[in-house]
Structure 1
């Protein structure tokens, strides 16, 4: 099969690999019909995530047609059309029983790698380094799906792929981000990042009763999409001091809820801060860019909540004194996708949300290396890329 393959920092290529096969009775094989490039894939591409190896297959936002199932798979069968959750979860460990699916104890076949860095291992994730299992990803013609009964949701409507594909990751991720922000009716919610996760977080914040949503970015087409499709107010951080602007917009109090939908590769408007963090990276004192976290902590009102769906790889310096003295609540983590699949699919089927609004580029899988660069560099108005194997 053809699959997008990691060859080193900034170097991905479409190579030929053996077709996957059933390895355990709980596995399924799907023929991928659509798959997407996630913003967190760029963290792999740019070298922010540890333990990537040359030859790894990338991608964690796939859907397709079931080609084969293991003997223990009961919920899906050959020929079914399914969306695949990006987190891999067994369904029967203590964490899965609490619906904390992204913390599954059993799906990571190499837990010692994550334990050494994090203390405990979270769930495995498709195509996301050997820290999280080294499981081949979904930017490929075929995909092996472990724990297939829990890790897929059947699509029984005739909606096109583009209307349901993002149930795999970014719609549940945006929804959980808004949920973890603990939004109360009428709250002012500030969301850093107008990329795909940020846009779905904005939609979700409105669903949860936000009275006002403010989005922060610097890319004109992203800010425009946020205004037009998500009906939010915007701040261009390349033109305005975010902390001062948010104070001005909220009468000095600050937003009630702040959400970091960017993660490890946020950009600084203050070049002195950027240079200092680059020196920390060089000295191995810091591996992530924490500009959004720093701004969100300083901006959030006293007693507010900071939700973090943005992916971080390792170490970042943040104003913990401000967070503690302001009494902020932090909620974060990889998404418990399986918890949200059925209720969010119901919203899609009822027409409450159109998941396809953010797609700007649809390309053959063979064009993936070019599209990674275009997405990273924010060229050609690129906001979300769907690949067709």
Structure 2
């Protein structure tokens, strides 16, 4: 089949790879109809991947149709329309059974849990993908939810909701979102759905700030974001901050701008093993700090219901739709942050 593969820094290739197969009676092969490129895929693209190996298919966001099922699969049949959550649980431990797949008791690393970060679980930027333990790791897509919305629901929207939930956003509060890519924009939508009165947004790219404003976000303008945030909150600071970038600078911005006794929730992917966390500052501010990886399965029921009710519009963050064969150029575009790029979707039929 045709797929993308990762061969080193800034080296994504489109070509033939082995067909996925049902190798266990609990497997399902999904024919991909839409795949997404995630911001965390750019870590891999930039040479800061989660595995030193190359040659594997990246991607952990896709929607498709069941093509083949193993003999022990009971919840799905060929022709079912499904979304593939970014994380895959073992289904045997208690945490996975409760939906917290990111905390799987049998996983030794992220490579055991997430599609497309190593050869251990081949990714979904392909014509088809194998889903292990499919009765738990697949989700039916309800009628009325588009492929675009469903693809965002595989990772970006759940990550954003998880970040807001862990920030404990309360009705009437002011929330700051740092990073206005797809996760940040979905965090803004989520904060409003949770009752935030105001959502402020920080991003260095003017096009992203302008688009966020169409969703009700108040863009933080100027080069001095801390001062601007203080001015916009009468010197108090936001009640909660959701950080959706993962860089040292943006995490420090979150910690520095949040109000006294405020909450900071980091969902941006950080690979810094020695982040200089200012414990004294955090203690004096009586700060609450949360960081983690989203268990998509746990968040999805609420998000699907909110999407069906029109309270969330995941498809709003999609800016570009390209063919899978254009994958190398799609990565280059997304990495450049040019042309108003937000969410890039890939069509395996092209």
TM interval, shorter chain, is over 0.9
CA contact (8 A) 2:111 2:121 kept: no
TM-score (norm 2): 0.95
- With 367-376 and 50-59 compared, the bigger mean Cα shift is at 50-59
Q: Is 2:84 the partner of 1:84?
A: yes
For structure 1, the 5+ residue unaligned runs are: 115-120, 264-288
Q: 1:31 to 1:180 in 2, by over 3 A?
A: same
State the distance in 1 between where 2:293 and 2:44 align: 16
User: How has the CA–CA distance of structure 1 residues 319 and 129 changed in structure 2, closer, same or farther, with 3 Å as cutoff?
Assistant: farther
In structure 1, the partner of 2:227 is: 244
Structure 1 residue 53 displacement after superposition: 1.6
Provide Cα deviations, 1:285-314, integer angstroms capped at 9, x if missing partner: xxxx40011111111112111111111123
Secondary structure in 1 matching 2:135 = helix
Check conservation: 1:49, 1:313, Cα contact below 8 A.
no
Aligned-partner SS, 1:213: strand
2:193 paired with 1:207 = yes
Counterpart of 1:292 in structure 2 is 250
Q: What is the rounded CA distance, in whole Å, between the counterparts of 2:338 and 2:94 in structure 1?
A: 44
* Distance change in 2, residues 1:6/1:124 (3 Å): same
Note the 1:1-389 alignment, pairs <5 A: 1-106=1-106, 108=107, 111=108, 114=109, 124-129=113-118, 134-157=120-143, 159-228=145-214, 230-236=215-221, 239-263=222-246, 289-315=247-273, 316-389=275-348
Q: Which runs of 4+ in 1 moved over 4 A?
A: none
* Alpha-carbon distance in 2 for matches of 1:332, 1:378: 25
Structure 2 gaps, min length 5: none
Are the aligned partners of 2:115 and 2:123 in contact in 1 as well (CA < 8 Å)?
Answer: yes
Q: Is the contact between residue 98 and residue 298 of structure 2 (CA under 8 Å) also seen in structure 1?
A: no
SS in 2 for 1:125: coil
1:87–1:123 contact (8 Å) kept in structure 2: no
Are the counterparts in 1 of residues 29 and 128 from structure 2 also a CA contact under 8 Å?
Answer: yes
Using the TM superposition, give the Cα deviation of residue 240 of structure 1 relative to its aligned residue in structure 2, in angstroms: 3.1
Quote the Cα distance in structure 2 between the aligned partners of 1:249 and 1:18.
54
Number of matched residues? 347
Q: Write the distance in 2 (CA, Å) between the matches of 1:14 and 1:47.
A: 18
Secondary structure of 2:130 counterpart = strand
Q: 1:299–1:158: structure 2 CA closer, same or farther, 3 Å change rule?
A: closer
Distance 1:14 1:56 in 2: 12
